[in-house]
Chain A
Amino acid sequence: KAGVTQTPRYLIKTRGQQVTLSCSPISGHRSVSWYQQTPGQGLQFLFEYFSETQRNKGNFPGRFSGRQFSNSRSEMNVSTLELGDSALYLCASSLGGTLGETQYFGPGTRLLVL
């Protein structure tokens, strides 16, 4: 089975721009979660989608948004980029049926905001 894939792997943007990142989950997985990893804060939960609905949301500003499509693929969008948004953005998928399921991570998208 193919793993979680994320595109693009690297991105460079400037302040004020917006960016869209894409995630394809493992086949059969219906839950997709997004995390931000920075050196100072570690891995922080952004949001989780299941069956095209946002089921959970972390403590991030409204500039961070996401969506999920009927094939479970997900996108996250960051608008009005700030320098502090430079991070590794990780997507994880799981079957989505129960709490505590193992989440499987993609390789991440490295975003640099200049």
Chain B
Amino acid sequence: DQQVKQNSPSLSVQEGRISILNCDYTNSMFDYFLWYKKYPAEGPTFLISISSIKDKNEDGRFTVFLNKSAKHLSLHIVPSQPGDSAVYFCAASGSSNSGYALNFGKGTSLLVTP
């Protein structure tokens, strides 16, 4: 039962434009949301997180938006750079019997073209 869903398996964006990656979740007990970036043959690298008491968190070119009522979050990358090309995973955790576990989406492969 996939509790975190990334419905776009891939996304292609031109360099300099905005990349918007989307994520939906079903479990209302989730309190913390994270985005990870993964290159082939490497482990996921933490990018940015947000807790449910906020609706926006910004770190340089990366901004995460959370809409709790819609159970939806998105990652905005502005401006996009070729080095951003990777697979992006959305993850969530919260106050449940597996509270320390991260529940991952299946990832969105981002390609930033020059």
Contacts and interface: CB of A to CB of B under 8 A. Distances in A.
Interface residues of B, number: 28
A100 B43 contact: no
B107 to A, nearest CB: 6
Interface stretch (A12-20, A40-48, A72-80): A40-48
Given A4-B43, A99-B94, A102-B46, A42 B100 contact: no
Interface residues of A, number: 25
Contacts of B34: 102-103
A57 B20 CA distance: 33
Contacts of B94: 99-100
Ranked nearest first, the 8 interchain pairs of A and B with the lowest CB-CB distance are A100-B32, A105-B43, A43-B104, A42-B106, A45-B101, A105-B44, A56-B98, A107-B43
A33 B42 contact: no
Contacts of B100: 31, 33, 48, 50, 55-56, 99
Interface of B: 31-32, 34, 36, 41-46, 49, 51, 89, 91, 93-95, 97-107
B106 to A, nearest CB: 4
A106 B32 contact: no
Contact of B93 (A35, A50, A100, A104): A100
Given A42-B104, A43-B91, A100-B51, 15 more contacts: A33-B101, A33-B102, A35-B102, A42-B107, A45-B98, A45-B101, A48-B100, A55-B100, A56-B99, A90-B43, A92-B43, A99-B95, A99-B100, A107-B41, A107-B43
